[in-house]
């Protein structure tokens, strides 16, 4: 008190500082020893503060997922990874937690991190999500994808024709990330809007959509930890942001083009869908019962951005991963190529999707490519408003955040021997795991339960048609590319390789 009497002008500041210190200490004591989660194992720092995740994800670049993996090795299958969240790593529990009957909600602070809070993907409450998904889900059924698959075949043929005409035996380098990004972008935008942007014809296959999506991913750790970040970005003029970060121009072009197409469809200016056999997603939504409840342009824009972003980057990554390992391992290439030659005598006359799905080694390559590309590497955080969740001897209280991570599931050594190796043979002859369950049960790349990936059938169709078409018709040689160019070094919702990676580059022979 003597110090305060000597410095009366600073009394309020000193008292505020002391009060803050007492509050921080008290909060830490509560979180460590009095919280309902205090009994869960894990590092003390993560139990005391959420800034541990900020450090590893925002400052260190998507590395928190590796810390979670490390902590599971030390503390066991269930750990506390923040003051308010527990994480589980148990391949057998994954299907139980994310079952089709689960009625879990998402964390509210995650709603704004992509800047498209009205999309079905970002709906928080289970019941609301169920209604929204019911309107969109029918457009991605297996039969609708099969009916649409001949168009994908034509785009694969177009890609091969460009590779043969412009790159074969020329010494020109092809970046397969870009080529496959253009391919899947063309297929998805035609399916969604009945509009073709012909991204395959862009120089070096550099499609603006894929550039925009990849740029957005790098901001996800920041927007996840600080939800106000997206709101601030939306307040700033696009011109200013473009000056600060030129790469963001592609993001703005991406969103602007989505809005333009939705307006054209809504105004009846786009008649592209009348000349095709498939019924597009947004024409149908505009005619659905959802319109009675207020189907705003913003909602359609957010839905468009969500479907397009989710459908492009993950499939592009899986195709790129597959191509790298096929070319990296000659024995895999020989087995696949031989099977394709026998099944497809005329490379200009491709079989149907359903026929390609029957090829055992192609199936194995597709499965292993999906496993090794991981899909979404972000942990799937949920809450259960209706009651607690039990895992072994631990009770997770109601309304408490809990999560599992597909990345860890797909790398579980108990399920997948040599999980870091690309081994298509593990999928041959209806394999079962050491627990006796079919191995396919653990392929969680599309998620599980009521929120699993809507576009799963579409993505798998692209995988079969692209890999069969390209590797039946083309011959590549890797160019200055090794495993470090595809291995994940950070999670930005999706896996990212090292910053220095130029992608999977090849020469067309």
Give residue limits of the domains in the chain. Answer: 44-508
453 is in an annotated binding site: yes
- Identify which of 480, 479, 501 has the alpha carbon closest to the alpha carbon of residue 489: 501
Please tell me the distance from the alpha carbon of residue 249 to that of residue 154, in angstroms, as a whole number.
31
- Is residue 105 helix, strand or coil? strand
How do beta strands 494-496 and 505-508 pair?
unpaired
The DSSP code for 432 is B
Residues 6+ apart with CB under 8 A from 423: 368, 417
How do beta strands 505-508 and 173-175 pair?
antiparallel
pLDDT confidence of residue 305: 86
pLDDT confidence of residue 271: 63
pLDDT confidence of residue 203: 94
pLDDT confidence of residue 240: 86
How far is C-alpha 5 from the chain's CA centre?
59
Residues 6+ apart with CB under 8 A from 77: 88, 89, 90, 93, 391, 392
Please tell me the distance from the alpha carbon of residue 319 to that of residue 353, in angstroms, as a whole number.
16
Domain 44-508 carries which CATH code?
Answer: 1.10.630.10
Mean pLDDT, consecutive 10-residue stretches, the chain (509 aa), reads 54 81 89 96 97 97 98 98 98 92 92 90 91 86 94 98 97 98 94 85 87 85 92 86 75 80 74 65 70 74 87 95 98 98 96 98 99 96 95 96 97 95 97 92 95 95 99 98 98 96 97
pLDDT confidence of residue 80: 98
pLDDT confidence of residue 277: 65
């Amino acid at each position: 008190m003597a110090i305060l009497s000597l410095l009366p002008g600073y009394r309020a500041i000193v008292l505020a500082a002391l009060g803050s210190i007492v509050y921080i200490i008290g909060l830490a004591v509560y979180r460590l020893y009095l919280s309902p989660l205090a009994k869960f194992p894990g590092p003390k720092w993560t139990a005391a503060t959420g800034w541990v995740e900020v450090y590893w994800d925002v400052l260190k670049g998507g590395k928190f997922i590796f810390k979670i993996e490390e902590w599971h090795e030390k503390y066991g299958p269930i750990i506390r990874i923040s003051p308010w969240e527990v994480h589980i790593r148990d391949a057998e529990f994954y299907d139980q937690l994310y079952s089709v009957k689960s009625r879990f909600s998402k964390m509210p602070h995650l709603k704004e991190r992509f800047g498209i809070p009205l999309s079905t993907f970002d709906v928080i409450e289970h019941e609301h999500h169920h209604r929204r998904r019911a309107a969109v889900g029918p457009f991605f059924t297996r039969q609708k994808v099969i009916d649409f698959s001949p168009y994908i075949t034509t785009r694969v043929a177009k890609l091969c024709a460009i590779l043969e005409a412009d790159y074969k035996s020329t010494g020109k380098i092809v970046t397969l990330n870009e080529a496959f990004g253009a391919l899947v972008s063309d297929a998805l935008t035609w399916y969604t809007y009945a509009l073709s942007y012909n991204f395959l014809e862009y120089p070096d296959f550099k499609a603006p959509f894929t550039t925009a999506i990849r740029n957005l991913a790098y901001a996800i750790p920041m927007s996840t930890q600080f939800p106000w970040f997206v709101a601030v970005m939306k307040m700033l003029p696009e011109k200013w942001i473009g000056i600060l970060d030129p790469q963001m121009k592609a993001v703005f072009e991406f969103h602007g083009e989505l809005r333009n197409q939705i307006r054209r469809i809504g105004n009846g200016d786009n008649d592209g869908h009348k000349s095709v056999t498939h019924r597009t997603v947004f024409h149908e939504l505009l005619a659905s019962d959802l319109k009675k409840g207020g189907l705003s342009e913003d909602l359609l824009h957010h839905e468009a951005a969500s479907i397009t972003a989710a459908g492009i980057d993950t499939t592009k990554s899986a195709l790129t991963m597959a191509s790298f390992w096929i070319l990296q391992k000659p024995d895999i290439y020989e087995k696949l190529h031989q099977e394709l030659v026998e099944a497809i005598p005329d490379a200009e006359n491709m079989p149907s999707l359903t026929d390609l799905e029957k090829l055992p080694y192609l199936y194995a390559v597709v499965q292993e490519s999906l496993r090794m590309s991981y899909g979404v590497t972000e942990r799937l955080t949920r809450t259960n408003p209706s009651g607690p969740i039990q895992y072994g001897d631990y009770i997770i209280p109601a309304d408490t955040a809990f999560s599992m991570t597909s990345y860890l599931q797909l790398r579980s050594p108990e399920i997948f021997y040599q999980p870091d190796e690309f081994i298509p043979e593990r999928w041959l002859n209806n394999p079962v795991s050491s627990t006796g369950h079919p191995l396919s049960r653990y392929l969680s790349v599309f998620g599980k339960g009521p929120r699993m990936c809507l576009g799963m059938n579409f993505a798998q169709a692209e995988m079969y048609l692209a890999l069969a078409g390209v590797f039946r018709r083309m011959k590549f040689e890797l160019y200055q590319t090794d495993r470090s160019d595809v291995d994940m070094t950070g999670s930005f919702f999706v896996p990212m390789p090292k910053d220095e990676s130029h992608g999977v580059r090849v020469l067309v022979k």
